[in-house]
Chain A
């Protein structure tokens, strides 16, 4: 996976999604549509952009907070 350029000294953050936990609520797709999407067959979420930065990173933080299944983690790299 290619790293997106980071604009600040902030470390790159990596998005992890624990698929078996996902309950297909769609909350992450609403919060950060650039980073999350859902599978056609069952609505389970997957990650489009594993290394978001800037405003997109804030949107991912919101997704982490509202995911009802605690299936999303942001890990510092």
Chain B
């Protein structure tokens, strides 16, 4: 399949310099996009980037262009298409379900799991999430300090929630968190990622076997019913289960920990949240932190199926495009004074959840969890502060989701 990528080698711009991608962030600026990316956006709407495979791809730097292309049916999320910008070496197979499929199959599968993520269904879970958050804070306050906020709070909140929604026993969290960590590390060996994925699929498959005998009212039981009615193969169902389990906790956990760090570094903004119980301000804070941090930072990636035009440049079928939402969300044309964290701005148009038909399925759930967390943690622990220098913190530069591995805090 590697041969089919060569067309992109001659593709992008005649004389423009080629940047290596992904690019490093600047030391001391953990919340800002890599300076190379911001510079590329200032230079123009398109740039050429070279990936690990030595091939060149188009980088789209502007908010408006990224949204337009992500909506365009002539671009494909299918990693087996010629020109698809792979994150890492791959065996060329899609094993993580509809996130890497195109319509109509993408829509068919996605619609099987959209109901539990509808706004009203998610709202109904808010009291249960509030209880989870309050209980974890009680435990944290009763225990020793300093404590790692990731381990004690940021990871358990979304994990407990997605487990309940899917019908996965939370007691198994060490197992699936360990394997999901390997799966989303860019620098993990392909064999290790395949092995981790295989274990997760096996686990989900076994769980669905149990649900065949004893169905519940959880999402996995719903998928099992569709397997039984012949709408879905058991492998497809297990792959969907893995996608939901992974996407359901890694992302939100990073928003909780990195969001807390960003607020601790912006005390005036933190004070706004600590001193309010206004749901509107809290909701607006969530949108702004999603925009400002743009944690799913590897860039949305697509293969071009038929010639398209972006900012006056034709991008040919068989070429690949990369659309990093961290720079789109800092585009001054879309967000005035974009590098300022301002919890009171209207940031709802951000693309932190992506755009187009693949826009995050779990966004209503993620929003609600983050509203409960940001609206509770700093009010209940007003003295919360870092127990390490920000320069000593281990940042997730190597993962497809940005964040911190550990966040030592005290109060």
Residues of A at under 8 Å CB distance from B? 23-27, 29-31, 37-44, 62, 65-66, 68-70
Q: A29 CA to B367 CA in the complex, in Å?
A: 13
Q: A31 CA to B114 CA in the complex, in Å?
A: 19
Report whether B348 and A44 are in contact in the complex, using a CB–CB cutoff of 8 Å.
Answer: no
Report whether A25 and B349 are in contact in the complex, using a CB–CB cutoff of 8 Å.
Answer: no
B359 within 8 A of A: yes
Report whether B355 and A30 are in contact in the complex, using a CB–CB cutoff of 8 Å.
Answer: no
Nearest residue (CB) in B for A65 is B349
Report whether A43 and B359 are in contact in the complex, using a CB–CB cutoff of 8 Å.
Answer: no
Q: A65 CA to B355 CA in the complex, in Å?
A: 11
Nearest residue (CB) in B for A62 is B348
Contact of A24 among B117, B353, B355, B367 (CB under 8 A): B117
Report whether B115 and A31 are in contact in the complex, using a CB–CB cutoff of 8 Å.
Answer: no
Contact code string B340-364 (vs A, CB < 8 Å = 1, else 0): 0000000011000111111111011
With contact pairs A29-B119, A66-B349 given, residues A44 and B114 touching in the complex (Cβ less than 8 Å):
yes
Between A and B, 29 residue pairs with Cβ closer than 8 Å are A24-B114, A24-B117, A24-B118, A25-B359, A25-B360, A25-B364, A26-B122, A26-B363, A26-B364, A29-B119, A30-B119, A30-B364, A31-B348, A37-B120, A38-B118, A38-B119, A39-B118, A40-B115, A41-B115, A42-B111, A42-B114, A43-B114, A43-B118, A65-B349, A66-B348, A68-B356, A69-B71, A69-B359, A70-B71
Report whether A24 and B363 are in contact in the complex, using a CB–CB cutoff of 8 Å.
Answer: no
B306 within 8 A of A: no
Q: A25 CA to B355 CA in the complex, in Å?
A: 10
B226 within 8 A of A: no
CB distance from B121 to the nearest CB of A (A): 8
Q: A39 CA to B114 CA in the complex, in Å?
A: 10
A-facing residues in B308-355 (Cβ within 8 Å): 348-349, 353-355
B107 within 8 A of A: yes
Contact code string B108-139 (vs A, CB < 8 Å = 1, else 0): 00110011011111100000000000000000
Report whether A68 and B118 are in contact in the complex, using a CB–CB cutoff of 8 Å.
Answer: no
Report whether A23 and B107 are in contact in the complex, using a CB–CB cutoff of 8 Å.
Answer: yes
Report whether A43 and B348 are in contact in the complex, using a CB–CB cutoff of 8 Å.
Answer: no
Report whether A43 and B117 are in contact in the complex, using a CB–CB cutoff of 8 Å.
Answer: yes
CB distance from A70 to the nearest CB of B (A): 6
Nearest residue (CB) in A for B104 is A20
Report whether A43 and B357 are in contact in the complex, using a CB–CB cutoff of 8 Å.
Answer: no
Query: In terms of DSSP, what is the predominant structure of the interface of chain A?
Result: loop
Contact code string B137-172 (vs A, CB < 8 Å = 1, else 0): 000000000000000000000000000000000000
Give 9 new A-B contacts, CB below 8 A, not counting A23-B114, A40-B115: A23-B359, A25-B360, A30-B367, A43-B114, A44-B111, A66-B349, A68-B353, A69-B357, A70-B71
Residues of B within 8 A of A69 (CB): 71, 356-357, 359
Contact code string B387-400 (vs A, CB < 8 Å = 1, else 0): 00000000000000
CB distance from B241 to the nearest CB of A (A): 18
Residues of A within 8 A of B359 (CB): 23, 25, 68-69
Report whether B357 and A38 are in contact in the complex, using a CB–CB cutoff of 8 Å.
Answer: no
Q: A31 CA to B364 CA in the complex, in Å?
A: 12
Q: A42 CA to B110 CA in the complex, in Å?
A: 9
Q: A49 CA to B350 CA in the complex, in Å?
A: 26
Determine which residue in B114, B117, B349, B367 has the highest number of CB atoms from chain A within 10 A of its CB, and name it.
Answer: B114
Residues of B within 8 A of A26 (CB): 117-119, 122, 363-364
By Cβ-Cβ distance, the 8 closest A-B pairs, closest first, are: A68-B359, A24-B114, A43-B118, A43-B114, A38-B118, A26-B119, A29-B119, A26-B364
Determine which residue in B119, B122, B349 has the highest number of CB atoms from chain A within 10 A of its CB, and name it.
Answer: B119
Q: A43 CA to B360 CA in the complex, in Å?
A: 14
Q: A44 CA to B367 CA in the complex, in Å?
A: 19
Report whether B357 and A23 are in contact in the complex, using a CB–CB cutoff of 8 Å.
Answer: yes
Q: A1 CA to B90 CA in the complex, in Å?
A: 54
Q: A40 CA to B116 CA in the complex, in Å?
A: 9
Residues of A within 8 A of B122 (CB): 26
CB distance from B296 to the nearest CB of A (A): 14
